[in-house]
Amino acid sequence: MDGTDSKVDLGSIPLVALNVTVRKRLGLYLNPKHTVAADWTAVAETMGFSYLEIKNYEASRNPTKTILDDWAARNSESSVGKLVSILEEVERKDIVEDLQTLIDEDVRKYLETQKKKAEPPVQVPEVDSCVPRTPERSGITVDDIPGGIPEMFDAFICYCQSDFAFVLEMIRELEQTEYNLKLCVFDRNVLPGSCVWTITSELIEKRCKRMVVVISDEYLDSDACDFQTKFALSLCPGARSKRLIPVVYKSMTKPFPSILRFLTVCDYTRPCTQAWFWIRLAKALSLP
């Protein structure tokens, strides 16, 4: 990209650097079906999506946005540079040329933000990452000891309130049996009075080895569940660390979330595999 500092390797810039304006402009170019120029389907195919996945994306109101989000979540090698290469590969250099200035500006802002984050805090010579850094992040769970080692969990349970009965069954089957796992259930373990998003991020990233996502029609309408899932996915692009485990416990009328399609699902709705459900889930959560 001519407008960006020549020392910047766009292949090292994650897709999250691209802001809303660029993504909307990409949609304007790629969403309409063209008889000559390549559209979003050609980009999706080059990204590695299968025929069936691409057919599913046709139901989306903004398929370009959806494939960008899913590509970033499932592919650890996704980047601004790779996206530019894909657009050039499908012969859409016109898009690259038109958006070049906007992309360069987004990359510049992203690098500035990363540089600021890397700068040491004022008057704090050393920070131990194992210790909560602000008063808000200490004493956030019921069993936290102020000034002591933070309480740790085997898994964070992502759920909406309408699915809480199943979460209680999960507690009985995984905590109160020979599996002896320790689950982080927000309504049970988290103390009231702190910022929900800050506490949730702290728990998912630093306190819990994995996250169980209870999928249901109601889950799809939950902003909190959406945030928790996308935050956890951002910590493990491509799910190489097996950090997320989707669970389906009742039949759904809405489509399964596309952002989780590439993960193996633990399905409680299938009678033929129900007997193995809890042992499979327990063993997955017991992995190092």
- pLDDT recorded at residue 37: 79
Mean pLDDT of 2-21: 76
- pLDDT recorded at residue 247: 97
pLDDT(79) > 70: yes
Q: Which two tokens stand for residue 273?
A: 């595999």
Mean pLDDT of 263-285: 92
Query: pLDDT by residue (tens digit) across 216-250?
Result: 999 999 999 999 998 888 887 654 555 899 999 99
Could you tell me which CATH number the domain at 153-286 has? 3.40.50.10140
Query: pLDDT by residue (tens digit) across 195-212?
Result: 888 899 999 999 999 999
Q: d(Cα 62, Cα 10) in Å, to the nearest integer?
A: 25
- pLDDT recorded at residue 213: 97
In the numeric block, the tokens 């899932």 are attached to 229
User: In which element (H, E) is residue 171 found?
Assistant: helix 164-174
Q: d(Cα 140, Cα 135) in Å, to the nearest integer?
A: 9
Q: Which residues pair with 246 in a beta bridge?
A: 213
pLDDT(4) > 60: no
Nearest to residue 243, comparing CAs of 195, 208, 196?
208
Q: d(Cα 27, Cα 24) in Å, to the nearest integer?
A: 5
Query: pLDDT by residue (tens digit) across 80-91?
Result: 999 999 999 999
- pLDDT recorded at residue 137: 60
Query: Is the pTM above the cut of 0.75?
Result: no
Q: d(Cα 112, Cα 137) in Å, to the nearest integer?
A: 26
10-118 carries CATH number 1.10.533.10: yes
- pLDDT recorded at residue 119: 65
Q: Which two tokens stand for residue 27?
A: 């949609």
- pLDDT recorded at residue 123: 52
- pLDDT recorded at residue 132: 42
Query: pLDDT by residue (tens digit) across 147-184?
Result: 788 899 999 999 999 999 999 999 999 999 999 999 99
Q: d(Cα 228, Cα 198) in Å, to the nearest integer?
A: 11
Which of left, alpha, beta for 238 (phi over 0: left; psi -120 to 50: alpha)?
Answer: left
pLDDT above 70 covers a percentage of the chain that reads 87
Q: d(Cα 188, Cα 174) in Å, to the nearest integer?
A: 15
Q: Where in the chain is the domain with CATH 1.10.533.10?
A: 10-118
Mean pLDDT of 86-114: 90
Q: Where in the chain is the domain with CATH 3.40.50.10140?
A: 153-286
Q: What radius of gyration, in Å, describes the C-alpha atoms of the chain? A: 21
Indicate the pLDDT class of residue 3, thresholds 50, 70 and 90: very low
- pLDDT recorded at residue 136: 43
Average pLDDT, the chain: 86
Q: Which two tokens stand for residue 130?
A: 């194992």
Number of H helices, E strands in the chain: 11, 5
User: In which element (H, E) is residue 139 found?
Assistant: none
Indicate the pLDDT class of residue 126, thresholds 50, 70 and 90: very low
